[in-house]
Structure formats: structure tokens, C-alpha cells
């Protein structure tokens, strides 16, 4: 199937939902109710699952050229189309609430897509093709022309209202198709508002004022954050992307905007990443700390504590819905053909059922990192969460699990899981003075030391000359690069230095991309940034800088990173934009700024 490359897409967000717009002017993904909702534009996963295309009629022909950029410190995207007849700019945004500033961004987003067309030179013929298909493409709406010139699309629980300023709209049987001319100096606005068939109708905004408000809201938000480290431009932009993946009502950060974009074209490792992973917690907190975002960190802590609830004997789920939902059972959408024919297409993620022993370590480590923002005594919910997680680790660390890569085969004694169990108890011991007398730091310290001795004894494989992915295994795993990052071992430790060298030799090449394991066909960006951090901590700053710049070079033309990169072609793979990739970038940039950072 002929589909745009993953890197062809730009990301729009209102911190409630997100949309993807291609270089071809087509909005191919939008779940308007919230990030993990049902798509009304789903062409990303099937050519017939809905889109909204707005592009010069000459697009794709000789002489058509595209330039794109975000307006500074925003997720408002401006695309300039150069054609033989002239040039035109299309500016796309998901509207912010009127008057929203700073941390109000996304709290009450109106769920309105805004598109502005500006004639720059000459006279350009434009084409609009509006073909919504709600419920991930299962529904074809009825289209109703209204007296004021708008078109209402209604199907199932969804209402969409298409409005235009200065262009007559005509509804066909299942889509709106319009052609119009834009001359130099002329401006035309379009909007699509989302509403509920049995609830609130779509919000109507003045599109010019709405676009200006949205730009101001993003820029005001960014003005409240300062970053004074190296590579400030890419760090600031990655922080904007993380903000765009934040579900403002709860503070949860979605792992990605999309579901089922394949780790390899034609493969079946296609998962739904539109949820919030506790595993990502410490890395996210570290990135927010680097980017000076304490308010976001505090809200994310509150979300985590309430989502986890009181910790009992059952393993804490690795991921939750954006408002703390625990059961996000997975099913296959068999009617969708998948990105470039890659099936299955999944909605939901059954990893929530897995035992993953690394999760408590990530969460407690995040609390430790932001301890100074959280006060000398943690609030009750956070305190109970830390104690409960530490006790769970103390009682279960010796069990096998699925590991941080969420394998769907047998459980094993994964190295990274054991190391994160050590992290959980190490940080819990350090937090003990802030736990108001709760917990048992003496016992925790003893178990922590036992875990460390076990990892050092069982994790090293003499045959391979490295720490391997699981106890007793000869298979390398790039997650071993995490050991210096969490300060389990210094990067200069002889065995750790040997591990870094073996991972570089066996799991990487001159592209700078690091695969997670030998059979992984693509480079995993987070692991590549871990290697940057390891090289810095090993004293190889020049190599680290060169690697950082090479890896960040895989971002697309508007600075977005997906999950993985095809080392043969440089093509982006996996769900996009990927929070962990941007988190890895931020943290690696800060390590290059301050090698001693915790």
C-alpha cells in the first residue's frame, strides 16, 4: 500500500488529543475526545479510514515543493507549498481554549482543528477533501449542509462540523470535495469542531482569533520554563513535544500519539502506545527536571499515586489509561489493513497484565529525583505508594518477569528488572526520613545489598564478556546500558566498560543506532541515547557528542522522533512521536552538559 512515510507527519496537539498532518496536506490521524480515543481520521492505518486533505491541486506534480516548520515554541505547523502557479502557506493547529495561558493549556480544550490558507505569490488552485470515518473507520457519516454554509457530519456518537470562511462547501454522499483559488495576499480559514451526538455540540471558534490564541498559549507556556544546558534548541523542542503528549486533565504523559505503527514494515510487533507507562516515569521525571518543569512533575506524581492506589500483593500494572484506568484490554481491529499492510492493528495493550519487576524502581526513583520539590515529608498518598512499592519489591524481586521490553513469551530473570529492584530499595532507603516513620529501611537495605550481589554474580557472562539480558543467557540486551544511568555501576567499572564495548560492537554500527538485541532489525532510539550517556560517564566526551548529533539527525524535518530507525534506509519506524525518544534526547543532552548529574 502506498502510504506516506512515518517521517512525513507533523504533530498537532491541544493536550487533550493529537493529530498527524502529512507533507501531502492530509490530516490522517485524530482521536478528538482524547489521545487514546476512537479516530475520526484514520488513514494512517487504512486508506479508507478517513482523512482531511487540504493541498494545492498541483501537489505531487513537477514543480511542487514543500517546506515546513513549527511556529517558535509551539505545535502550530506552517507548511509552504511552492507550485509553478505560485506559493501558498497552510497553517494547522489544534485550538487552545480561549484565554488559556501557561499551565491552563489543555485543561478545557475545545476539540477544534484550525487550518489557515494564505496566498503568498501568484494564484494557486487548492483542493479540499473532507472524508471523516468515525470509530476507527467503521462508520461513514451522514453529511448535512446547513443554512449558514457549514457541513455537519454525524455518525454513531460523533458530530463533526466543517466550517469555511469565504469558500462555499458542498456535501457529497460521503465526503466534501471543493476546489478554490487563493491569490497572493488572500487568506481563507477552515475549522472542524468535534462534539457528542448526545451531549455538547461542536464548539464554534472565530478561526483567526482561535489560531492567534493558540500560538500565544503555547508560547506563554514555554516562557515559564528555562533550560540552560547544551543543545538548547533540540531540547526545547523535545520538551514542547512532551508537553504535547501530556493529557492535561490528569497530567499523564502518553507514550506516543499512535497505535500499531510497526517496528518493522510487514511485521506484527504493532502495539498501542496511547497510554501512560509507569516504567517511563523516572526517565520522564528526569527530562522534566532537566527542562525545569516542576509543576508538570508534581501533577504527574499525583496521577501516578491515584492510578496505582494502595499497593497490595498483585503486581503493579506497567501502564494505565490517561485517567488512571487499569483494564485496557487489547483487541484487534480486523477491518483495518494496517500501516503499509502491517497487521494486526491493536487497540488496547495487554502488557498491563504482565509482571514487570522494574516498575516500582522507576516510580520510586522518580520520587527521589524530585524530592526537593515534594517537601521534607511526602504527602500521604505518595508516602503510602513508596512504602507499598518497596515492600512489594522486597517480597518479589527473586521472581522471573517479562522484562522492560514486555516480551510475550516466557518469564525470565531479566538483568534490567533485577537492577531496577535494587534501585527501588536503594532510593526507598534514602527517602526513609521523608516517610513519617513508615517503612523498614534497615530491612530494605539488607535486601538491596542481596540483590546487588546477585546481579553482579549472575548477570555477568564470562563467555560473552558482558552483562547479558537475563541470568544465564548469552544474548546481549541494550538495556544493560541502563546500569550506569541509574548508578548501579560506574561506566568506568572494568566489567561495565567491557559491556559497553560489546554492545557497541554487536548491537550497533556506523549509523550510531543501537538495537535492543541481536535479532532486533531496527535501531531503538532510547538505547542510542543511553549509549551517549554511557560514553560521557566513561570519559569519552568527543565520541558521545558525535553520537548524539548523529542520532538526533534522524529526526524528521520538523524535529519529531518515532520509536525506531531502519539502519539501512534511515526511515522512521514505530509509533510517533515517541515520548521515550524525546526523553532520551533531553537526558543525553543534559548528561553532556553535566556528566555528574544523578
**Within a domain: 570:** yes
Closest CA to 9 of 589, 480, 556, 438: 556
Are residue 259 and residue 407 in the same domain, yes or no? Answer: yes
1, pLDDT greater than 70: no
> Per-residue confidence at 352, pLDDT binned at 50, 70, 90?
very high
Mean pLDDT value of segment 234-261: 94
**The C-alpha cell of 360 is what?**
516500582
* Contact partners, residue 306, CB within 8 Å, separation at least 6: 324, 381
Residue keyed to cell 510475550: 408
For residues 167 and 278, membership in a common domain is answered with no
pLDDT for residue 283: 83
Question: Is 1 within a domain?
Answer: no
The closest of 355, 359, 365 to 402, measured between CA atoms, is 355
Q: What CATH number is attached to the domain comprising 460?
A: 1.50.10.10
Of the three residues 173, 205, 223, the one that is the final residue of a domain is 223
Q: Is the pLDDT of residue 553 over 80?
A: yes
Average pLDDT, integer, range 311-320: 88
Examine the domain organization and report whether 540 and 509 are in the same domain: yes
What are 413-466's pLDDT values in tens digits? 999 999 999 999 999 999 999 999 999 999 999 999 999 999 999 999 999 999
Does residue 219 share a domain with residue 238? no
- Contact predicate 562/575, CB 8 Å: yes
* Total number of domains constituting the chain: 2
Domain boundary among 191, 223, 255: 223
Check whether residue 208 and residue 81 sit in a common domain.
yes
Domain extent for 467: 232-593
Is the domain of 271 the same as that of 194? no
Residue 459 domain-assigned (yes or no)? yes
Strand spans (E) along 315-389: 319-320, 331-332, 346-347
How many Å apart are CA 77 and CA 409, to the nearest integer?
Answer: 42
**Residue 176 lies inside a defined structural domain of this protein:** yes
Domain boundary among 223, 258, 281: 223
Q: Are residues 372 and 506 in the same domain?
A: yes
Sorting pLDDT into bands at 50, 70 and 90, what band is 292?
low
The reply to whether 296 and 385 lie within a common domain is yes
Query: Is residue 261 a contact partner of residue 43, using CB atoms and an 8 Å limit?
Result: no
Q: Residue 295: is its pLDDT beyond 70?
A: no
Q: For position 112, which CATH number holds?
A: 2.70.98
Residue 598 lies in a domain: no
Which is it for strands 158-165 and 252-253: parallel, antiparallel or unpaired?
unpaired
Q: Do 515 and 557 have their domain in common? A: yes
Does residue 418 sit in the same domain as residue 496?
yes
Amino acid at each position: 500500500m502506498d502510504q506516506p512515510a512515518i517521517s512525513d507527519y507533523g504533530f498537532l496537539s491541544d493536550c487533550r488529543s493529537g493529530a498527524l498532518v502529512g507533507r501531502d496536506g492530509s490530516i490522517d490521524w485524530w482521536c478528538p475526545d482524547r489521545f487514546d480515543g476512537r479516530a475520526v481520521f484514520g488513514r494512517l492505518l487504512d486508506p479508507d479510514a478517513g482523512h482531511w486533505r487540504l493541498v494545492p491541486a498541483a501537489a505531487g506534480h513537477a514543480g511542487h515543493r514543500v517546506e515546513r516548520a513549527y511556529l517558535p515554541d509551539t505545535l502550530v505547523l506552517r507548511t509552504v507549498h511552492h507550485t509553478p502557479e505560485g506559493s501558498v502557506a497552510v497553517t494547522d493547529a489544534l485550538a487552545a481554549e480561549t484565554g488559556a495561558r501557561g499551565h491552563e493549556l489543555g485543561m478545557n480544550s475545545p476539540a477544534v482543528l484550525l487550518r489557515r490558507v494564505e496566498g503568498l505569490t501568484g494564484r494557486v488552485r487548492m483542493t479540499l477533501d473532507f472524508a471523516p470515518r468515525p470509530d476507527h473507520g467503521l462508520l461513514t457519516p451522514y453529511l448535512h449542509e446547513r443554512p449558514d454554509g457549514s457541513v455537519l457530519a454525524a455518525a454513531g456518537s460523533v458530530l463533526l462540523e466543517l466550517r469555511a470562511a469565504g469558500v462555499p462547501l458542498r456535501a457529497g454522499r460521503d465526503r466534501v470535495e471543493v476546489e478554490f483559488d487563493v491569490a497572493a495576499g488572500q487568506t481563507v480559514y477552515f475549522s472542524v469542531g468535534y462534539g457528542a451526538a448526545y451531549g455538547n455540540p461542536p464548539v464554534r471558534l472565530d478561526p483567526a482569533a482561535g489560531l492567534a490564541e493558540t500560538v500565544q498559549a503555547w508560547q506563554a507556556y514555554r516562557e515559564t520554563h528555562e533550560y540552560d544546558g547544551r543543545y538548547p534548541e533540540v531540547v526545547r523542542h523535545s520538551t514542547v513535544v512532551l508537553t504535547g503528549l501530556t493529557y492535561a486533565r490528569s497530567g499523564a504523559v502518553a507514550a506516543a500519539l499512535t497505535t500499531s505503527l510497526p517496528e518493522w514494515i510487514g511485521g506484527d510487533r504493532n502495539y498501542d502506545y496511547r497510554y501512560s507507562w509507569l516504567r517511563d516515569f523516572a526517565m520522564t521525571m528526569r527530562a522534566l527536571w532537566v527542562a525545569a518543569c516542576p509543576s508538570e512533575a508534581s501533577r504527574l506524581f499525583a496521577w501516578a499515586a491515584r492510578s496505582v492506589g494502595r499497593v497490595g500483593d498483585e503486581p503493579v500494572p506497567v501502564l494505565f489509561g490517561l485517567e488512571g484506568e487499569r483494564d485496557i484490554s487489547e483487541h484487534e481491529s480486523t477491518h483495518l489493513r494496517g500501516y503499509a499492510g502491517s497487521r494486526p492493528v491493536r487497540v488496547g495493550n495487554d502488557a498491563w497484565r504482565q509482571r514487570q519487576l522494574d516498575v516500582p524502581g522507576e516510580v520510586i526513583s522518580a520520587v527521589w529525583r524530585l524530592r526537593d520539590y515534594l517537601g521534607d515529608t511526602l504527602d500521604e498518598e505518595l508516602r503510602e505508594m513508596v512504602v507499598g512499592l518497596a515492600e512489594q519489591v522486597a517480597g518479589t524481586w527473586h521472581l522471573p518477569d517479562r522484562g522492560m521490553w514486555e516480551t510475550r513469551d516466557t518469564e525470565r530473570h531479566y538483568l534490567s528488572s533485577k537492577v531496577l529492584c535494587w534501585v527501588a530499595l536503594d532510593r526507598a532507603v534514602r527517602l526513609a526520613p521523608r516517610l513519617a516513620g513508615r517503612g523498614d529501611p534497615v530491612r530494605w537495605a539488607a535486601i538491596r545489598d542481596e540483590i546487588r550481589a546477585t546481579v553482579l554474580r549472575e548477570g555477568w557472562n564470562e563467555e560473552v564478556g558482558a552483562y547479558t539480558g537475563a541470568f544465564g543467557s548469552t544474548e546481549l540486551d541494550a538495556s544493560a546500558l541502563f546500569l550506569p544511568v541509574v548508578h548501579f555501576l560506574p561506566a568506568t567499572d572494568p566489567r561495565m566498560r567491557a559491556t559497553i564495548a560489546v554492545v557497541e560492537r554487536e548491537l550497533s554500527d556506523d549509523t550510531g543506532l543501537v538495537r535492543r538485541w541481536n535479532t532486533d532489525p531496527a535501531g531503538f532510539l532510547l538505547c542510542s541515547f543511553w549509549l551517549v550517556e554511557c560514553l560521557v560517564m566513561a570519559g569519552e566526551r568527543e565520541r558521545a557528542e558525535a553520537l548524539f548529533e548523529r542520532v538526533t539527525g534522524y529526526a524528521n524535518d520538523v524535529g519529531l522522533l518515532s520509536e525506531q530507525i531502519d539502519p539501512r534506509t534511515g526511515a522512521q519506524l514505530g509509533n510517533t512521536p515517541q515520548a521515550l525518544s524525546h526523553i532520551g534526547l533531553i537526558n543525553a543532552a543534559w548528561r553532556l552538559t553535566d556528566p555528574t548529574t544523578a
